[in-house]
Amino acid sequence: MMRRSTKIWILALGSVAAALLVSLLAGIYWLFRSGVTLSLDNKFGDQHLKTTVALVELHKTRYGAYPDSLSELRFVGDWDAIALGSVKYCAAQDHKSYFVEVLRGWVAKPDLELPAEFWKGTGFNSSLGPCR
């Protein structure tokens, strides 16, 4: 049988731990909602997008068509895998065009605006998106 003072200490420690957890979660929530990560989200998101486009276009050059999914890409490095895990990709049924969207930059969805010239010569087709 547990002593009464032990029960009180366990209850007190549990209460402190719960309060710390709630404070931590509230802090994380505030951090994301404040927009303080937007600059880093945009930097990482921009890199994720450009890495993905480069790999997809290289696949087209090598094999004559865009991949059905990003898992078909070959010779992907560890850093590339991080970028590919941060985007949503879909190819047209004929594999002649694709749509790609960045879902995560550093920690949240970035707010990217690339010039139309960036997409020149690629198979990007905005009418295919957003992917399901």
Tell me how many degrees the CA angle 46-111-120 measures, rounded to the nearest 5: 50
- 24 and 42 in a single domain? The answer is no
Quote the number of domains for the chain: 2
- 54 and 26 in a single domain? The answer is no
Expressed as residue numbers, the domain containing 50 is 37-128
- 24 and 51 in a single domain? The answer is no
- 24 and 62 in a single domain? The answer is no
Write the pLDDT tens digit of every residue in 14-25: 888 888 888 887
Tokens of 84: 């590919």
- 48 and 102 in a single domain? The answer is yes
pLDDT reported for residue 34? 64
Write the pLDDT tens digit of every residue in 29-44: 666 666 678 899 999 9
Average pLDDT over residues 86-104: 97
- 27 and 69 in a single domain? The answer is no
- 83 and 27 in a single domain? The answer is no
- 11 and 28 in a single domain? The answer is yes
- 29 and 9 in a single domain? The answer is yes
Quote the DSSP letter at residue 71. Answer: G
Rounded distance, CA 67 to CA 92, Å?
A: 10
Mean pLDDT of the chain: 91
CA distances from 115 to 49, 84, 118, 120 (A): 13, 21, 6, 10
- 14 and 44 in a single domain? The answer is no
- 119 and 65 in a single domain? The answer is yes
Task: Please tell me whether residue 124 adopts helix, strand or coil conformation.
Answer: strand
The mean-pLDDT minimum among 17-26, 99-108, 118-127 falls in 17-26
CA distances from 119 to 2, 42, 82, 92, 106 (A): 69, 18, 22, 16, 23
- 47 and 79 in a single domain? The answer is yes
